[in-house]
Amino acid sequence: MASWRRTFVVALGMCCFALQSQVQADESIVASFSDPLVKAWVQSAAVPTAATGISVSELPVARPGQGKPYSFCTLGSCATRVRVTNKDPLTNTTGMLYMDLRYKPIVGVNSTMMTWMFENMANNATYATTNETFPMYLIFHPRDHVVHEVQKVNGTVSRGAHLTWCEMILSNCIYNKNSAMEPWVCPPNAKGFIRSDKESSWAKKYKTKEKMVVNWFRSTGIEFSRIEASPLLGPKPRVVATTRHTWRDSAAGTALVGMRTQLWIGLMDINTTTKFNTSDFANSVNEFIKFQVMGGTSDLPTQNVTALGWMNALHFVEEYGGTKTWLPAVWRARKQASPEVG
């Protein structure tokens, strides 16, 4: 291994990236990492992983529809195409993960509702099925979501705003490596975790708590990125993950058509949000990002980036494909929405 890479890996143990939380490494985490130098560091250091970062107090006391079977979209019912790879065909660059999801028309939802949802997702709303009040973020995905926080710019979700997404993606769902189109299966009775559940039942489940910065937001979509500022990455902050949602209205304005979600994970070029850096240096950074994103979980196959891509695809289609079941009613009642929480 080149000396610069050895120095970089050792420095990671001292400096790291912006840490979400910390957990003492155990043997299963150590065994999951391929690089021997990083493995040695993991054995002696506290490392942030996807198995950490959410506290008991952040879990909701209750969830919308709790105790009743959920009827979420599947990739087969609500998507037209899914691409999970490590190469972005537009920039022709390779990173850790690139996912491209295309949706079937989302009937009953339009761009006005979608932009309003992003502006108000931290507000309370009424869950029509039970006539109970919950944060809209929980209604958006009643099984997986935990909490959503917004730091607006001049009172709006716009360029530079911070969005914190805290979720436990595909809670109690099952991975089937033999399925080409539906590798994740979520039984209707799969339930999301709540505060009264024993911490041991969810402590090592896959979860995320990501603070993302909005790059742009308009009536046809939104893009936000996770940005890391570390001397190890150079003099400027660098993007290590980007999510982009785009949509357009049908001619009659009664459905969203052409809805698309793209996800990039990996070190990007300087001053870009979606162009992977392809240097040897980026390969080392991506190894650490992979461990930070996936390490230490009991439900996500170890170091299986493809499984991570399909996991996100199904979660996204459950979220956005499912807006037709609740967003139109919440939007019509928007004048009654309570002030922002969180």
Q: How confident is the model at residue 235 (pLDDT cuts 50, 70, 90)?
A: confident
Q: 């003492």: which residue's tokens?
A: 24
Distance of alpha carbon 174 from alpha carbon 252, whole angstroms? 39
Distance of alpha carbon 86 from alpha carbon 339, whole angstroms? 41
Instruction: Answer yes or no: is pLDDT of 172 > 60.
Output: yes
Structure tokens at 269: 């070029």
CA distances for 108 relative to 222, 253, 257, angstroms: 20, 9, 11
Q: What is the mean pLDDT of residues 221-240?
A: 87
Instruction: Answer yes or no: is pLDDT of 300 > 60.
Output: yes
Structure tokens at 224: 């936000």
252 burial via Cβ count (<10 Å: 0-12, 13-18, 19+): exposed
Instruction: Answer yes or no: is pLDDT of 2 > 80.
Output: no
Contacts of 7 (CB under 8 A, 6+ apart): none
Structure tokens at 129: 């099925």
Phi, psi of 151 (to 5 degrees): -115, 100
Contacts of 167 (CB under 8 A, 6+ apart): 141, 144, 145, 146, 207, 208, 315
Q: What is the pLDDT of residues 259-286, one digit of tens each?
A: 999 999 999 999 999 999 999 889 888 8
Instruction: Report yes or no: 94 and 261 within 8 Å, Cβ to Cβ.
Output: no
Q: What is the mean pLDDT of residues 155-174?
A: 94
Does residue 65 or residue 144 have the better pLDDT?
A: 144
Instruction: Answer yes or no: is pLDDT of 99 > 90.
Output: yes
Q: Kindly report the number of other CB atoms within 10 A of residue 41's CB atom.
A: 21
Q: What is the pLDDT of residues 41-72, one digit of tens each?
A: 344 334 445 555 788 999 999 999 887 778 89
Residue ranges of domains in the chain: 54-336
Distance of alpha carbon 190 from alpha carbon 188, whole angstroms? 6
Structure tokens at 121: 């997702």
Residue-averaged pLDDT of the chain: 83
Structure tokens at 47: 């490392």
CA distances for 176 relative to 51, 179, 301, angstroms: 21, 6, 10
Phi, psi of 82 (to 5 degrees): -135, 130
Q: 């009743």: which residue's tokens?
A: 68
Instruction: Report yes or no: 127 and 137 within 8 Å, Cβ to Cβ.
Output: no
